[in-house]
Amino acid sequence: MSNPPPARVGDPASAIDTPALVIDLDAFERNLDRMARFAHDTGIRVRPHAKTHKSPAVAWAQMVRGAVGQCCQKVAEAEVLVAAGIPDVLVSNQIVGASKLARLAALAKRARIGVCADDRMQVDAYAAAARAAGVTLYVLVEIDVGAARCGVAPGVPAVTLAERIRDADGLVFDGLQAYHGSAQHIRGHGERKAAIDTAAEAVRVTTDALAAAGFECRTIGGAGTGSYRFETATGLWNELQPGSYCFLDADYARNLDDGGAEGSEFEHALFVASTVMSAVAPDRAVVDAGHKASAVDSGLPTVHGLADVTYVSASDEHGKLLRGAGAKPLGLGARVWLIPGHVDPTVNLHDWYVGVRGGLDDGVVECLWPVAARGALS
Amino acid sequence: MSNPPPARVGDPASAIDTPALVIDLDAFERNLDRMARFAHDTGIRVRPHAKTHKSPAVAWAQMVRGAVGQCCQKVAEAEVLVAAGIPDVLVSNQIVGASKLARLAALAKRARIGVCADDRMQVDAYAAAARAAGVTLYVLVEIDVGAARCGVAPGVPAVTLAERIRDADGLVFDGLQAYHGSAQHIRGHGERKAAIDTAAEAVRVTTDALAAAGFECRTIGGAGTGSYRFETATGLWNELQPGSYCFLDADYARNLDDGGAEGSEFEHALFVASTVMSAVAPDRAVVDAGHKASAVDSGLPTVHGLADVTYVSASDEHGKLLRGAGAKPLGLGARVWLIPGHVDPTVNLHDWYVGVRGGLDDGVVECLWPVAARGALS
């Protein structure tokens, strides 16, 4: 049920079969280096999110640059990471169900495993699973810092949950999960900062209440690619969980900087290679990559490197391009590089990364990395 | 890179691990029987679309009920179907690139293989691949019947392409591909019918021009779940290509019938099983199925069988539910059955179908079917 890779190592990039998920390795490594330098300069820990990349190869490229571990959202993702030797994995999510918890606890024999809680029933189930396996699970109390999704209210409810964790054999209270997902894509720089300032107030109230009850937080985790500088600047968070920064996507690139300009300090490093498969009208072309090749939950892909060409609609296996007056013709068989609207679910559609060195147009395939946790839903 | 199945045969449906893709086999078989009866009663051929189901097991359930073959969109999907013994496969799409065409031609040694063309360069490449493999490919000329995506203009341009196919060794001109994709989800019954009536005019102009040039069309194919009765009623099409009817999705169920009511003659037969993993506020709950488990390109999933509960937002691995005043509480661990917004890309997110007999709540797991062509992009 796994599909063959769309290229061979050593192939010219132009020979990659399409659609394919392609990493520009030079840009990718610059992105990793940029985040590693930030961590070094500020002294903050970085625990990149593997829900973006689902790949041991990417995880290790982050680890050798100083990442303290990996985050993920699913037990099945954690299984892939631990099998690849990652020594410290946080499931930045609530896990419910005895069979999943038995699997999670089994991982704790081979790695330091963290998990989040926002309910005492979860805590009791985590403790039972840890005791049954004879392991320790490190539990973060998730607080709602503004997304109104998961997480207990800041302050006393977090303390109550921390006490239950402290009192449970098999569990260690490790701190707070304070991630503001919906803030990541607030376009305005000031508005995005304001959302994190509000989140910081929730963290402060909670750490004060925890301190008054005798609790120390080893970890205060959160932040994403869109906001991590803000969390860092507060001095409250000590662990960042960015995912998309390694690849960047079209949606993140629409965030505004403090000068009001679109863009990102990171570079687009992940592309969907596509081919024109129909070109019957002078103003349009159809490529072989629709929404089964590039996820559209956060908008359509954009077209890389072709002036005045727009990807205007996606069906399952077709992407329609419109050519403006300034665009060159796009003939049958032409290669079109797409920048995904959202990298995380796009990666999840593919079995292989094709790593290209030396640029998309003239480069060479250097590596093929399996998307090892593709479809790891459980 | 394939994930383990989320259940075992014989398990109660309540024990299925989540998220999981679940077929209500009773409803599924009624859907298949309904379409087979329609084909029998009208004498039209049905060639269901495997881009929806990507499964030999589903394909064979359709074949034993009289389907004449299968459609698909990708060579890699055709490979899965032919490997499973399907004797007649139409790639209802243009295929570009020498390596893909060599693979397609290789399949023609084991099955009758059809493919579409809207450009003479495709025709020449199809012919070269067929000759190199010593096989025959059956080529449909795709005409644009209103979607402005692929397909030559109706009339003379189709005749010109048919002549090129006729004159090419290794190819047989098989007729027309006349599929109106964008008509399928036009909500109003009358408006949807009008779109197909316009498409019919394009077909008529083209078959008249072909007849004048001495061409007969063995196949005039097209139609989908939203429109197939209209194409059939024109008497022009002789082969239907519906995909979604076997499962039905939330989007199709929003089409209006001739009385102006939402709904479909088909039943929802495909569900994403999910579990409440966070329930911190009385008016909301969060399930473990976001847009990596249920595709959102055609809207969010809907909630099956729970009054006054709405799925209001999807992130990668979270679905937020809001409970209205009339809803029962949704506690941690509660099972929630989701109806996907769009079945085709949702199926493509999963490795396994879990087939349940006897109803979702009290039924038993009868079968596990691999989504064998999951991720078959090439």
pLDDT tens, position by position, B184-206:
999 999 999 999 999 999 999 99
Q: Under a CB-based contact definition with an 8 Å cutoff, are residues B223 and B229 in contact?
A: no
pLDDT at residue number A205: 98
Task: Please tell me the distance in Å from A118's CA to the nearest CA on chain B.
Answer: 7
How many C-beta atoms lie closer than 10 Å to residue A327's C-beta? Answer: 17
Asked if the Cβ–Cβ distance from A19 to B150 is below 8 Å, we say no
In contact, B289 and B274? CB cutoff 8 Å? yes
Domain stops at, among A225, A254, A283: A254
**Residue A89, domain CATH:** 3.20.20.10
Q: Which residue intervals of chain B are DSSP H helices?
A: 25-42, 50-53, 56-63, 75-83, 98-107, 120-133, 156-166, 189-212, 228-234, 343-347
Count Cβ atoms below 10 Å from residue A193 Cβ, excluding itself. 17
CA A338/CA A303 separation, integer angstroms: 5
Residues 6+ apart with CB under 8 A from A234: A196, A197, A200, A203
**Minimal Cβ distance to B293: which of A94, A277, A377:** A377
**CB pair distance less than 8 Å for B150 and A345:** no
**Per-residue pLDDT reduced to its tens digit, B310-348:** 999 999 999 999 999 999 989 999 999 999 999 999 999
Position B291 scores a pLDDT of 98
Closest alpha carbon within chain A to B321: A149
Is A5 a member of any domain?
A: no
- The answer to whether residues B156 and B81 belong to one domain is yes
Residue A44 lies in domain: 26-254
Inspect the interface and report whether the beta carbons of A333 and B284 lie closer than 8 Å: no
Domain boundary among B248, B278, B298: B248
Interchain CB distance below 8 Å, B333 and A18: no
Instruction: Please indicate whether, in this complex, the C-beta atoms of B378 and A3 are within 8 angstroms of each other.
Output: yes
Which among B2, B53, B119, B278 is the top mutation candidate for probing chain A, defined by the most A β-carbons within 10 Å of its own β-carbon?
Answer: B278
Q: Above 60 in pLDDT, residue B102?
A: yes
What's residue A201's pLDDT?
Answer: 98
Do the Cβ atoms of A161 and A120 come closer than 8 Å?
Answer: yes
Q: Which chain B residues contact residue A344 at CB under 8 A? A: 292, 316
Looking at the structure, tell me whether residues A233 and A274 fall in a common domain: no
| CB < 8 Å to A150, chain B | 277-278, 280, 286, 318
Same domain, B220 and B89: yes
Where residue B292 sits, what CATH number does that domain have?
Answer: 2.40.37.20
| B-chain residues near A224 (CB < 8 A) | none
ipTM for the complex?
A: 0.96
Closest CA to B155 of B147, B164, B144: B144
Find the mean pLDDT for residues A224-234.
97
- Judge: A318–B150 Cβ closer than 8 Å, yes or no: yes
**pLDDT band at A152; cut points 50, 70, 90:** very high
Question: Is B111 in the same domain as B229?
Answer: yes
The torsion angles phi and psi of B176, rounded to 5 degrees, stand at -120, 145
Q: Is position A4 within any domain? A: no
What is the arithmetic mean of pLDDT over A214-230?
Answer: 97
CA-based max dimension of chain A: 71
A377 touches chain B (CB under 8 A): yes
Residue A75 lies in a domain: yes
Any domain includes B339 = yes
On whether both A316 and A348 belong to a single domain, the answer is yes
What tens digit of pLDDT does each residue of A245-302 get? 999 999 999 999 999 999 899 999 999 999 999 999 999 999 999 999 999 999 999 9
CB A15 within 8 A of CB A7: yes
Q: How far is A41 from chain B (nearest CA, A)?
A: 31
Q: To probe the interface with A, which of B292, B344, B352, B353 has the most A CB atoms within 10 Å?
A: B292
The CA-atom distances, in angstroms, between A126 and each of A1, A130, A149, A219 are: 33, 6, 21, 19
Beta-carbon separation of A278 and B348 below 8 A: no
Q: Looking at the structure, tell me whether residues B224 and B298 fall in a common domain.
A: no
* Residue B99 with chain A: CB contacts under 8 Å: 17
| A255 exposure class (CB count in 10 Å sphere: 0-12, 13-18, 19+) | buried
Write the pLDDT tens digit of every residue in A124-142. Answer: 999 999 999 999 999 999 9
Give the separation between CA B148 and CA B16, rounded to whole angstroms.
43
| CA atoms of A280 and B150, how far apart (whole Å) | 7
Residue A145: the pLDDT is: 97
Between strands B171-177 and B219-222, the pairing is parallel
Q: How far apart, in whole angstroms, are the C-alpha atoms of residue B202 and residue B155?
A: 8
| Final residue before a domain boundary, out of A231, A254, A277 | A254
- Report the pLDDT value the prediction gives residue A23, as an integer from 0 to 100: 98
Residues of B in contact with A95 (CB under 8 A): 277
One domain for residues A228 and A291: no
Structure tokens at A96: 């419910």
- Chain A nearest-CA distance from B325, in A, is 19
Q: Is A1 on the interface with B (CB under 8 A)?
A: yes
What is the C-alpha to C-alpha distance for residues A264 and A240, in angstroms, rounded to an integer? 18
Left if phi > 0, otherwise alpha if psi is -120 to 50, otherwise beta: which for B197? Answer: alpha
The partner residues of B176 in beta bridges, in order of sequence, read B141, B220
Q: Which helix (H) or strand (E) holds A76?
A: helix A75-83
Cα nearest neighbour of A95 on chain B: B277
- Asked if B3's CB is within 8 angstroms of A150's CB, the reply is no
d(CA B15, CA B35): 32
Interface of B with A in 81-110 (CB under 8 A): 93-97, 99-100
Q: Which of A120, A278, A344, A347 to mutate to test binding with chain B, by most B CBs within 10 Å of its CB?
A: A278
A21-50 burial, b at 16+ Cβ within 10 Å, e below that, comes to bbbbbebbbebbeebbebbeeeebbbbbbb
Flag whether pLDDT at A2 surpasses 90. no
CB-nearest partner of B377 from A74, A277, A293: A293
| Nearest residue on chain B to A278, alpha-carbon basis | B150
Q: What is residue B254's predicted lDDT score, i.e. its pLDDT? A: 94
Which residues, in sequence order, are CB contacts of A291 under 8 Å at separation 6+?
A: A314, A315, A316, B295, B297, B345
Nearest to A96 among B152, B275, B378 (CB): B275
Q: Residue B365 falls within a domain, yes or no?
A: yes
R_g (Cα) of chain B, nearest Å? 22
pLDDT band at B72 (very low <50, low <70, confident <90, very high): very high
Whether B31 has a pLDDT exceeding 90, the answer reads: yes
Query: Residues A123, A271: one domain?
Result: no
CA distance A350 to chain B (A): 6
Q: How far is B152 from chain A (nearest CA, A)?
A: 6
Residues B346 and B229 in one domain: no
pLDDT digits (tens, 9 = 90+) for A288-300: 999 999 999 999 9
Contact between B44 and B361 under an 8 Å Cβ cutoff? The reply is no
* Cβ separation A370–B18 shorter than 8 A: no
DSSP label at A367?
E
Q: What is the pLDDT of residues B238-282, one digit of tens each?
A: 999 999 999 999 999 999 999 999 989 999 999 999 999 999 999
How far is residue A239's CA from residue A51's CA, in Å, rounded to a whole number?
17
Distance from CA of A345 to the nearest CA of B (A): 6
CA atoms of A198 and B327, how far apart (whole Å): 32
* Cis, bond preceding A19 (omega within 30 deg of 0): yes
Residue B253 lies in a domain: no
Does A281 sit within 8 Å of B97, measured CB to CB? no
Residue B8 resides in a domain: no
Q: How far is A214 from chain B (nearest CA, A)?
A: 25
Of A99, A150, A280, the CB nearest to B17: A99
Cα–Cα distance for residue pair B306/A46, rounded to 1 Å: 41
* pLDDT at residue A334 is higher than 90: yes
Considering the domain architecture, whether residues A315 and A274 belong to the same structural domain is answered as yes
Find, among B245, B244, B309, B247, the residue nearest to B274 by Cα. B309
Is the pLDDT confidence value at A1 over 80?
no
Is B236 in the same domain as B295? Answer: no
Q: Which of residues 169-198 of A touch B (CB under 8 A)?
A: 181
Beta bridge pairs of residue A175: A140, A219
Let me know whether A170 and A72 are in one domain.
Answer: yes
Strands A171-177 and A364-370: unpaired
Output phi, psi for A305, to 5 deg: 75, 10
- Rounded CA-CA distance B21/A302 in Å is 31
pTM, 2 dp:
0.97
- Asked if the model's pLDDT at residue B1 lies above 80, the reply is no
B304 domain residue, yes or no: yes
A332 touches B: beta carbon within 8 Å: yes
Say yes or no: B49 contacts chain A, CB-CB below 8 A: no
Looking at the complex, report in whole angstroms how far the Cα of residue A16 sits from the nearest Cα belonging to chain B.
11
Our CA-based measurement puts residue B258 at a distance from the nearest CA of chain A, in whole angstroms, of 27
Report which secondary-structure segment, H or E, holds A51.
helix A50-53
Of B280, B315, B377, the CB nearest to A152: B280
Q: What does the mean pLDDT of chain B come to?
A: 97
Average pLDDT, chain A: 97
Contact A375 B295 (CB under 8 A): no
Number of independent structural domains in chain A:
2
Quote the pLDDT of residue B2.
78
Cβ pair A136, A130 in contact under 8 A: yes
Whether chain B has a CB inside 8 Å of the CB on A318: the answer is: yes
Q: ∠A371-B7-A87 over CA atoms, to 5°? A: 40
Q: Rounded to a whole number, what is the distance in Å from the CA of A150 to chain B's nearest CA?
A: 6
Whole-angstrom distance between the N-terminal and C-terminal Cα of chain B? 18
Q: What percent of chain A clears pLDDT 70, i.e. is strictly above it?
A: 100
Instruction: Count each helix (H run) and each strand (E run) in chain A, helices first.
Output: 10, 17
